[in-house]
Chain A
């Protein structure tokens, strides 16, 4: 099987090729083409093939991570969208939860009011009403009103329409009918119904998700069609698969209908890639630590399974979106994070970033403020002559100058200030990891820290020290983990239905009926993708809470017909999870099943990784010995530190820190009290304690 993963980033498009027969992995990087990213994608694939004697027509799959949808939202340039909604509820997506984003601010913006996904003039109301608990029709749909609304929107050249009715998660009949009428009147329209995007209660969040889908639908559909055409035009027969934020991939047909599923798929591919690399070395408990120039993405995989974000915590650009997403915690901390002193005299590092322009002072592009990168230069951890594989030189004097200025203000030496900047950044990142582990009853000391991204390997060991994490893993290509994650992703579909069933009065038959129906829907999607039924794994979950609570926790539900004892086991599980998550349980209280979910996955072809057994030697790898600074036992000291070329390290031999390990896309720092080994799977394993 021949696979290609293509990840489009802000600056570069990364391409990774894998051949399961030859056990070969090849990577390639080309500039991202901003106006039409599919050009960069094609250039990357075809260049990689040409340079390595591969016939593009032999490639079986192209896995693609795209930021088209995400960028359309972040830059507020999606389609002019319309909405048809229940009469009396025109402004649900404008009022939201009547809460403003910031407590202490008069001059703040509210994303959904200042940048509406559907402007009020394009929000049409029609007579209809459904009611709980079963979605009974209280007021029938006025079909003529729908027809008029569709015509009016068409007359105003609105090409994308979201249909959002209250309680449609209980009964999609009115939305489905309205959709059919709209398509009769406006056959070219991109139509989204809220119940088809996410069949879940909470109208503001569901309507916003549907509006988001309408907003980004046309551009994403066009892009996917264009790319597919380009692949065919190049004589390729490869199947295209697009990355989703839930960590799975979907077909172009699915993504063209539900583009909202691709939002934030980039970070999802990253953590997936990190998990794949960890799995190569047999590590199944991982904290992924993806640090770039402006932000750090943190994910947790427990026994090889990613946790999914709670539906109430998933947002993009400040808008809530109710789509399944890997639980990734992002904080504003990275190499470009700026160190500054505020008017009150407090010292801060980030979240503001110098970005790549002007960037850190060490980039000599006009940056005047000290950044984390500058601090690493001052400490000797980033080497002037070996940054980005020597592709770019660093302005050491510039870094010293800006760090020196803040040092004088703080009354510290330049080295102490630099170490302080790094310490504060590390501490912010450690706090973020704590919030995803310790605070949820997970002991990070049982995990490995998977450090990647340009800056992850620079900070991984010191952050691990703060948390008592004994091991840090740096993958073979820390800078292109997303492309790798794409290669390892599965075809994945989710279904969800709101239930509101209470443990003391459970309608088990309804659960069984709904689960069966949801599984049938998912199997149909796979069938449309021509996946054999035998390859599909189905898992069931329920979102549950104590009656009265507002936040749900996810529990596993067994396969087959559900009966009383099976649910008792599920409820016992809920008490345990509640205790772990919050430190407290209410074992006497009844439990409400809010939603039930089914996830179907079909494995993608297995990624094969070249194993290296011999490698080079310490001598061969040694580039130089130079002075770097580390804090040991409270004192900041200079150490003679070995700089190694990663590709030439011996495999399986433990070496002691301090050491700096150089490679094209990242620099790894091994502090004095740590050791490291290049393992046969391409990973670099850093271990707390000296080598024995």
Chain B
């Protein structure tokens, strides 16, 4: 990599020292939030974010532990919050703490509630310390905050907070907290998590003030401006290497496969990437119209923009290749995003959006596929989508709730098979340990392992999906938001398409019912089960070019059968060994 002289606003040493300090503050916020929080979706699944934002609403640093889709939208939350305050003629004062989750005001979706602590230095606003987290419940029409796939508008999705002061000049606004407690299921958990968010954000604010006091605001600002510029130059340099031109890809979401209304299913997401010099425009024209009464629309700010920024940087500034590069404002500057209003990618209020997660993954898939035309060795075959399953029930006086986030898997990559059964693209959460779940809620996990005989063939095969079988030990309910029951992840450069997901209800008599990828709140009897069979991701490259030894390994590891080895790869396996001559002959005549 060639180094070139860049004249910054301040000396590069001080700039680096300040940047390092900012990163550490964000990490400390994330660390404390993760460890203090109550609900499994934050502390086990790590579905939370933490970031420092400057007075101009630009992201300075984010917590490394957080999931990308949580930290990425934070600057947008602040912009939305400020717009709301301005409209209402309200001001920000020292000691205020704001709560904000308006998906039409910068939030990613309603359950991801931000708590914002403004940072003051010498009576002037110097920035914000912010935490976001996915809350278990925000008072939607059915229990929980996942699988709300039948909300008909934003009002049905749960409570909306537009720049609400939960603390005013240091005084707790008890009326707000009373209202939250009344309107949210599991108030102890949710309000505990909210308190943890505030505590973590306050620590960030305190550290940020200390930093500003040590160096002075002008120096800190100059260091951060240099940091943005450096990040921007990195991405511009990477874009400039790509040939100018227009590159398109389209992916599809199931939508509501069991719905009689065709406008609610088989919906395209189209991405056109235009590269001109060191800039990129991502145009979503051609994407399906919004579904006005189903919540699979994606907030333009908070989901669409983040999905694009994060997919682009994961390909062009892959951290396995380029080392760690802080996600900040600079990495968004060279990318322009266009999405026509009234589409899935830019819905009009009050179109519901709470189940936007899976469409966002397909959008990311489309971005990666469009880029595969210019950087074929930095991308992967289609990734298997994730989503989530929400289980709930009543045991005596106790209401219980368990969020199961589905994993996806990565498509095959240049010289590497895809990653098996992991969270993908803009999400990076974690599953809950079986030994934790069964110790705390009335569920039995009957099975959790990889699928067999369905891996997508390729020179480098697609990642393998998992099967997770959960049985209710007492009556309860389930809600599901997922994708990919109809549309499998796409293969790339001759690799096979992946295998779709399935969701099965097993009744007490053993009979099975196939469920669609969207299941609104539905009762389950004791001893009934729900089985999540997750998609396998797409293959990469011609299967006939796969190393026969790798094919043999897949047979020995029971991913594929010897018959599949021959049918898909033309590799002849006899007695646990590759028959090299037969393989050569079969491949030559294929």
Query: A residues touching B (Cβ–Cβ < 8 Å)?
Result: 88-92, 94-95, 97-100, 102-110, 113, 119-121, 131-133, 166-167, 169, 201-205, 340-349, 352, 406, 408-412, 416, 419-420, 423-424, 427-428, 431, 434-435, 439, 500, 546-551, 578, 581-584, 586, 589
Given contacts A104-B318, A201-B439, A203-B433, contact A99 B36 (CB under 8 A): no
Task: Give the residues in chain A near B64, CB-CB below 8 Å.
Answer: 103
Q: A342 CA to B19 CA in the complex, in Å?
A: 15
User: Are A548 and B557 interface neighbours, CB within 8 A?
Assistant: no
CB distance from A432 to the nearest CB of B (A): 9
User: Are A550 and B320 interface neighbours, CB within 8 A?
Assistant: no
Task: Give the residues in chain B near A347, CB-CB below 8 Å.
Answer: 12-13, 15-16
Partner of B448, one of A88, A409, A500: A88
User: Are A344 and B43 interface neighbours, CB within 8 A?
Assistant: no
User: Are A91 and B430 interface neighbours, CB within 8 A?
Assistant: no
User: Are A201 and B422 interface neighbours, CB within 8 A?
Assistant: no
User: Are B233 and A343 interface neighbours, CB within 8 A?
Assistant: yes
Partner of B319, one of A104, A166, A416: A104
Given contacts A167-B435, A431-B21, A549-B38, contact A99 B430 (CB under 8 A): yes
Interface centre among B16, B189, B310, B558 (most CB of A within 10 A): B16
Q: A549 CA to B368 CA in the complex, in Å?
A: 37
User: Are B24 and A431 interface neighbours, CB within 8 A?
Assistant: yes
Q: Does B227 contact A (CB under 8 A)?
A: yes
User: Are A345 and B4 interface neighbours, CB within 8 A?
Assistant: yes
User: Are A434 and B230 interface neighbours, CB within 8 A?
Assistant: no
Task: Give the residues in chain A near B323, CB-CB below 8 Å.
Answer: 352
Q: A407 CA to B14 CA in the complex, in Å?
A: 15
Task: Give the residues in chain A near B6, CB-CB below 8 Å.
Answer: 341, 344-345
Interface centre among A90, A91, A119 (most CB of B within 10 A): A91
Partner of B557, one of A120, A169, A586: A120
Partner of B12, one of A98, A100, A420: A420
Given contacts A105-B318, A341-B3, A586-B192, contact A546 B313 (CB under 8 A): no
Q: A130 CA to B128 CA in the complex, in Å?
A: 49
CB distance from B147 to the nearest CB of A (A): 19
User: Are B438 and A104 interface neighbours, CB within 8 A?
Assistant: no
Q: A252 CA to B90 CA in the complex, in Å?
A: 71
For residues 390 through 437 of chain B, which have their beta carbon under 8 Å from a beta carbon of chain A?
Answer: 405, 407, 410, 413-414, 416, 419-423, 428-431, 433-436
Q: Which chain B residue shows the least CB distance to A551? A: B35
For residues 364 through 408 of chain B, which have their beta carbon under 8 Å from a beta carbon of chain A?
Answer: 368, 378-380, 405, 407
User: Are B420 and A424 interface neighbours, CB within 8 A?
Assistant: no
User: Are B420 and A95 interface neighbours, CB within 8 A?
Assistant: yes
Task: Give the residues in chain B near A344, CB-CB below 8 Å.
Answer: 6, 229-234, 237, 330
For residues 58 through 93 of chain B, which have their beta carbon under 8 Å from a beta carbon of chain A?
Answer: 64, 67-68
Q: A420 CA to B419 CA in the complex, in Å?
A: 41
Partner of A204, one of B40, B199, B433, B444: B433
CB distance from B188 to the nearest CB of A (A): 8
Task: Give the residues in chain A near B447, CB-CB below 8 Å.
Answer: 88-89
User: Are B556 and A121 interface neighbours, CB within 8 A?
Assistant: yes
Task: Give the residues in chain B near A584, CB-CB below 8 Å.
Answer: 32, 36, 195-196, 199
CB distance from B205 to the nearest CB of A (A): 12
User: Are A548 and B192 interface neighbours, CB within 8 A?
Assistant: yes
User: Are A424 and B16 interface neighbours, CB within 8 A?
Assistant: yes
CB distance from B133 to the nearest CB of A (A): 13
User: Are A113 and B419 interface neighbours, CB within 8 A?
Assistant: yes
Q: A132 CA to B445 CA in the complex, in Å?
A: 12
Task: Give the residues in chain B near A205, CB-CB below 8 Å.
Answer: 433
User: Are B1 and A91 interface neighbours, CB within 8 A?
Assistant: no
Partner of A342, one of B17, B234, B423: B234
Query: B residues touching A (Cβ–Cβ < 8 Å)?
Result: 1-8, 11-13, 15-17, 19-21, 24, 27-28, 31-32, 34-40, 43-44, 46, 64, 67-68, 188-189, 192, 195-196, 199-200, 202-203, 227, 229-234, 237-238, 310, 313-315, 317-321, 323, 325, 327, 330, 368, 378-380, 405, 407, 410, 413-414, 416, 419-423, 428-431, 433-436, 438-440, 444, 446-450, 466, 469, 556-559
Q: A584 CA to B33 CA in the complex, in Å?
A: 11
User: Are B317 and A104 interface neighbours, CB within 8 A?
Assistant: yes
Q: A342 CA to B314 CA in the complex, in Å?
A: 18
Task: Give the residues in chain A near B32, CB-CB below 8 Å.
Answer: 582-584
Partner of B234, one of A91, A97, A203, A343: A343
Partner of A103, one of B12, B428, B440: B428
User: Are A100 and B422 interface neighbours, CB within 8 A?
Assistant: yes
User: Are A410 and B5 interface neighbours, CB within 8 A?
Assistant: yes
Q: Which chain A residue shows the least CB distance to B18? A: A427
Task: Give the residues in chain B near A97, CB-CB below 8 Å.
Answer: 430-431
Task: Give the residues in chain B near A119, CB-CB below 8 Å.
Answer: 557
CB distance from A586 to the nearest CB of B (A): 7
CB distance from B165 to the nearest CB of A (A): 20
User: Are B556 and A98 interface neighbours, CB within 8 A?
Assistant: no
User: Are A410 and B12 interface neighbours, CB within 8 A?
Assistant: yes
User: Are B556 and A424 interface neighbours, CB within 8 A?
Assistant: no
Q: Which chain B residue shows the least CB distance to A590? A: B188
Partner of A582, one of B17, B199, B227, B436: B199
User: Are A91 and B449 interface neighbours, CB within 8 A?
Assistant: yes
Known: A344-B233, A347-B16, A584-B196. 8 other contacts (CB 8 A): A99-B422, A100-B423, A102-B320, A104-B327, A420-B12, A439-B31, A548-B192, A583-B202
User: Are B34 and A551 interface neighbours, CB within 8 A?
Assistant: yes
CB distance from B276 to the nearest CB of A (A): 20
Partner of A95, one of B8, B36, B429, B466: B466
Q: A545 CA to B169 CA in the complex, in Å?
A: 31
Given contacts A105-B320, A201-B435, contact A88 B237 (CB under 8 A): no
Q: A133 CA to B3 CA in the complex, in Å?
A: 60
Q: A347 CA to B3 CA in the complex, in Å?
A: 10
User: Are B419 and A340 interface neighbours, CB within 8 A?
Assistant: no
Task: Give the residues in chain A near B327, CB-CB below 8 Å.
Answer: 104
User: Are B439 and A95 interface neighbours, CB within 8 A?
Assistant: no
Q: A92 CA to B448 CA in the complex, in Å?
A: 7
Partner of A109, one of B200, B320, B446: B320
The 3 closest A-B pairs by CB, nearest first: A345-B6, A550-B43, A548-B38
Partner of A346, one of B199, B227, B421: B227
CB distance from A240 to the nearest CB of B (A): 37
Given contacts A88-B446, A100-B419, A549-B36, contact A107 B378 (CB under 8 A): yes
Given contacts A97-B430, A342-B1, A435-B24, contact A107 B320 (CB under 8 A): yes
User: Are B430 and A98 interface neighbours, CB within 8 A?
Assistant: yes
Q: A253 CA to B284 CA in the complex, in Å?
A: 65
Task: Give the residues in chain A near B431, CB-CB below 8 Å.
Answer: 95, 97-98
User: Are A583 and B5 interface neighbours, CB within 8 A?
Assistant: no
User: Are B1 and A343 interface neighbours, CB within 8 A?
Assistant: yes
CB distance from A683 to the nearest CB of B (A): 30
User: Are B3 and A91 interface neighbours, CB within 8 A?
Assistant: no
Task: Give the residues in chain B near A104, CB-CB below 8 Å.
Answer: 68, 310, 313-314, 317-319, 325, 327
User: Are B46 and A99 interface neighbours, CB within 8 A?
Assistant: yes
User: Are A106 and B38 interface neighbours, CB within 8 A?
Assistant: no
User: Are A420 and B13 interface neighbours, CB within 8 A?
Assistant: yes
Q: A341 CA to B203 CA in the complex, in Å?
A: 32
Given contacts A121-B558, A203-B435, A344-B234, contact A95 B448 (CB under 8 A): yes
Q: A158 CA to B559 CA in the complex, in Å?
A: 21
Q: Which chain A residue shows the least CB distance to B559? A: A120
Given contacts A89-B447, A94-B450, A412-B11, contact A121 B44 (CB under 8 A): no
Task: Give the residues in chain A near B231, CB-CB below 8 Å.
Answer: 344
CB distance from B459 to the nearest CB of A (A): 16
Q: Which chain B residue shows the least CB distance to A424? A: B16
24 contacts between A and B (CB under 8 A): A88-B449, A88-B469, A92-B448, A94-B450, A98-B423, A98-B466, A99-B423, A102-B320, A110-B419, A201-B433, A201-B435, A203-B435, A343-B233, A343-B234, A344-B230, A345-B5, A345-B230, A409-B4, A416-B13, A428-B20, A435-B27, A435-B28, A439-B31, A583-B199
CB distance from B226 to the nearest CB of A (A): 8
CB distance from B249 to the nearest CB of A (A): 15
